[in-house]
Amino acid sequence: MSRTKAQSLSRMGIDIGKNTFHVVGMDDKGNILIRRCFTRVKLIEYLARLPQTTIGMEACPGCHWLARKAKSFGHTPCIVPAQFVKPFVKSNKNDLIDAEAIAEAISRPTMRTVIPKTTAQLDLQALHRIRERVVSHKTAVVNQARAFLLEYGLTIHSGIAKFTHDMPSLLSDEQNELSPSMRDILIDLWQEYRSLEEKLLHLRRQIESIADADGIAKRLTSIPGVGKLTATAMTAFVGNGQQFKSGRNLAAWLGLVPREYSTGGKQRLLGMSKRGNAYLRKLLIHGARTCVLHLNRTTNFLGQWVQLMEERGVHRNKVVVALANKIARIIWAVMTRPGAFYLQQREI
């Protein structure tokens, strides 16, 4: 690229691939100056030589690594969710057209972007995702074992506690109708379940140790319904919360606000939108359900609010979701105020 084109370059869109990266660069007026394809190594060398500019990319695996690399060279990384790039794709689709759409999307002043994550956040995210996969695997093992037992007239009530209590006695009982082959299969499933339990215990201790060392996570645990698991998940996926203008924006990003379908000046609110991070939303709703069951209704601020909702006849599930929304707003307030803790009840 000539020196003149490099100096007039305003922004650049990169379509990320596993081995190849398609690049489209534009000037202030939107004229295309660059259309090129690079390998991973050649792209890094090219960005190191390029004058400082804004580099856009879709939110996908590998985008945070590329954003950190671009920032180290003095560029301004801009990560855009894929659903906001799609309206800028014109006609047919290929990698260069996608890169051009990214370059056009980042030119919009109201475009919503993703904050590049640090390596510490990505490591913590990996722990949470591994834990979620192990929990799902453990549930599958339990359900499969219970189904096999049903074929021999043996039942175990639902719930992990019942399974761990009844399974050893069923395997050791020689008088039941289990065949030798099925008994061996169930013993293997039981051993697999125990190994998954040990793996989950190890992951939980890792997450708890990170929570104890993280100042933000420690302050978040002062909020009702927020334990070390939820606190570390928030710091991993949200960071310090500065990218949200208010707690309501965080709650909307988590999908805890009503979905709106209004027209003609007539407002119509539907069920909760369920947008954003489903894992965080699940943790907040589980925490809110625990609060509804156990919060003190006389001294705790949130307990008094729950009591008021119940007196108004609001359905329990609606109260849980509304409380999860309120907890998300409190989380944002605590995260964005250094040293702040949540005051759960009135001081006497």
C-alpha–C-alpha distance, residues 302 and 294, integer Å: 11
User: Which of residues 213, 232, 250 is at a domain's end?
Assistant: 213
Pair type for strands 258-260 and 269-272? antiparallel
Within the chain, residue ranges assigned H as helices are 3-8, 40-49, 63-72, 82-85, 95-105, 119-150, 160-172, 180-213, 215-220, 228-237, 247-253, 278-294, 301-311, 316-335
> Which pLDDT belongs to residue 347?
45
C-alpha–C-alpha distance, residues 31 and 55, integer Å: 16
The verdict on residue 293 lying in a domain is: yes
Through-space distance between the first and last CA atoms of the chain, rounded to whole angstroms: 71
| Same domain (yes/no): 80, 25 | yes
What string of pLDDT tens digits covers the 348 residues of the chain? 555 565 678 889 999 988 899 999 988 888 888 899 999 999 999 999 888 999 999 998 889 999 999 999 999 999 999 889 999 988 888 889 999 999 999 999 888 888 889 899 999 999 999 999 999 999 999 999 999 999 998 888 888 999 999 999 999 888 888 899 999 999 999 999 999 999 999 999 999 999 999 889 999 999 999 999 999 999 999 988 888 888 899 998 899 988 878 878 788 877 778 888 899 999 999 999 999 998 888 888 888 889 999 889 888 999 999 999 999 999 999 998 888 888 765 544
H-helix or E-strand spanning residue 15: strand 11-15
User: Which of residues 185, 213, 241 is at a domain's end?
Assistant: 213
> Which pLDDT belongs to residue 345?
56
| Same domain (yes/no): 225, 266 | yes
Find the angle CA(106)-CA(110)-CA(115) to the nearest 5 degrees. 65
| Same domain (yes/no): 201, 238 | no
The verdict on residue 341 lying in a domain is: no
| Same domain (yes/no): 301, 282 | yes
C-alpha–C-alpha distance, residues 334 and 346, integer Å: 18
Q: How far is the CA of 304 from the CAs of 29, 228, 300, 309, 345, in angstroms?
A: 57, 24, 6, 9, 10
CATH number, domain at 22? 3.30.420.140
**How many other C-beta atoms can be found within 10 angstroms of the C-beta atom of residue 233?**
28
The verdict on residue 167 lying in a domain is: yes
Q: What is the DSSP letter of 170?
A: H
CB 311 within 8 A of CB 216: no
| Same domain (yes/no): 56, 133 | no
Per the structure, the complete domain to which residue 143 belongs is given by 119-213
Q: What is the DSSP letter of 59?
A: S
**Total domains, the chain:** 3
| Same domain (yes/no): 26, 80 | yes
**How many other C-beta atoms can be found within 10 angstroms of the C-beta atom of residue 171?**
17
> Which pLDDT belongs to residue 348?
42
Find the angle CA(100)-CA(18)-CA(126) to the nearest 5 degrees. 110
Token pair in block for residue 90: 């014109």
User: Which of residues 83, 105, 127 is at a domain's end?
Assistant: 105
Within 108-266, residue ranges assigned H as helices are 119-150, 160-172, 180-213, 215-220, 228-237, 247-253
C-alpha–C-alpha distance, residues 64 and 78, integer Å: 10
> Which pLDDT belongs to residue 184?
93
CB 292 within 8 A of CB 320: yes
